[in-house]
Amino acid sequence: MVNGDAGGGDRRALAVLAQHRMATTEQVHLMISPGVRIEQTRRRLVKLRGEGLIDRVTLPQAGRTRVWFVTRYGAEVALEWPELRDWRPPRLGADRTAARLRVGHALVVTEIALAFVQDARRCGDVCQPLDWIPEVYHSLGGGEALIPDALLYYRRKAKDGDGWSMLRAFVEVDRATMGPERLAAKISAYERLYRHVPVAVGRPRPGGEVPVEEWRRRYPVFPRVLFVLDGTGPAGMDNRISALHAGAKLARADFLRGVPMLAASLAALLRDGPSAPVWRPVTEPGQQVSWMDSLRG
């Protein structure tokens, strides 16, 4: 069982699958143990499946690629671990039918997460597999919520080698399944989160806590917003970035100053790495920068 795994590999594999929702054998391998033979990861996943902690679906159109996900039992086990204290699944585990219906988007999100993890390893920075948290719920009040595809934590080493800075980002993955206008509307949703102050229940007490924006309870600064675009050619990419630019024009100046928003194509991100200047600022789409160029968190 997982608790008897002296090397911790079983636990790491289950934690990665629990947090990332779904991953191929290769993605799990590159996340947890890139320095060993992939056959060891295959045996580990088969073992966890035999224990009822994970299951898989097979994609016939992708060379019979196996895609792994946690079962209800596996999710219940993983929820007990402190390293997953920020992980709250929208549902406990999945079955094969549910997994097959979600697999396309989920695997792209996992591939982007892996790109950030591998890029950090190359750059001497710190971004562990569990520093990528999918689907974090943020209330907007009135029963509405903003749920980014992922929340990224990234620890960047100073250029002079002395000290570190913590970067945070909300990540939105668009595979051209929605129109450009709906994509651009996400900017207004982030501005709503930026300004949302929860309504106090009952009468305020003298000397009580002054209401503040909800996000300040979680983050020292508002995370930047990264849009990763896929499923379209260069013309479609320009069209979607133009829509984001138009959406940004509707936002107030203080939000635009305080929250960097950038967009990149998935192909460029995977080819050159997330730290390369493949990102186009939504407010200045003619530029190309690294997502880390801004020194803010």
CATH of the domain at 87: 1.10.10.10
Same domain, 97 and 14: yes
Same domain, 159 and 244: yes
Same domain, 147 and 277: yes
Please state, in angstroms and rounded to a whole number, the distance separating the CA atoms of residues 55 and 98: 12
Residues with Cβ within 8 Å of 290's Cβ and at least 6 positions away in sequence, in order, are 275, 276, 277, 279
Over range 277-295, report the average pLDDT.
Answer: 90
Same domain, 37 and 157: no
Residue 89 clears pLDDT 70, i.e. is over it: no
pLDDT band for position 6 (50/70/90)?
very low
Domain-located, residue 291 = no
Same domain, 30 and 93: yes
Q: Output the CA torsion sign for 252, 253, 257, 258.
A: negative
Which of the listed residues 80, 102, 124 is the one where a domain comes to its end? 102
Same domain, 160 and 272: yes
pLDDT score recorded for residue 85? 75
Residues with Cβ within 8 Å of 78's Cβ and at least 6 positions away in sequence, in order, are 14, 15, 18, 70, 84, 87
- Greatest mean pLDDT range, 80-84, 103-107, 125-129, 230-234: 125-129
Lowest mean pLDDT among 8-17, 129-138, 254-263, 287-296: 287-296
> Which amino acid is located at 36 in the chain?
V
Over range 199-224, report the average pLDDT.
Answer: 79
Which of the listed residues 86, 102, 118 is the one where a domain comes to its end? 102
pLDDT, tens digit, 9 for 90 and up, residues 234-265:
899 999 999 999 999 999 999 999 999 999 99
Domain-located, residue 109 = no
Q: Quickly count helices (H) and strands (E) in the chain.
A: 9, 11
How many other C-beta atoms can be found within 10 angstroms of the C-beta atom of residue 110? 26
Domain residue limits at 64: 2-102
Same domain, 146 and 241: yes
When divided into structural domains, the chain yields a total of: 2
Same domain, 142 and 277: yes
Same domain, 98 and 155: no
Same domain, 90 and 140: no
Domain-located, residue 211 = yes
Same domain, 144 and 264: yes
Same domain, 153 and 266: yes
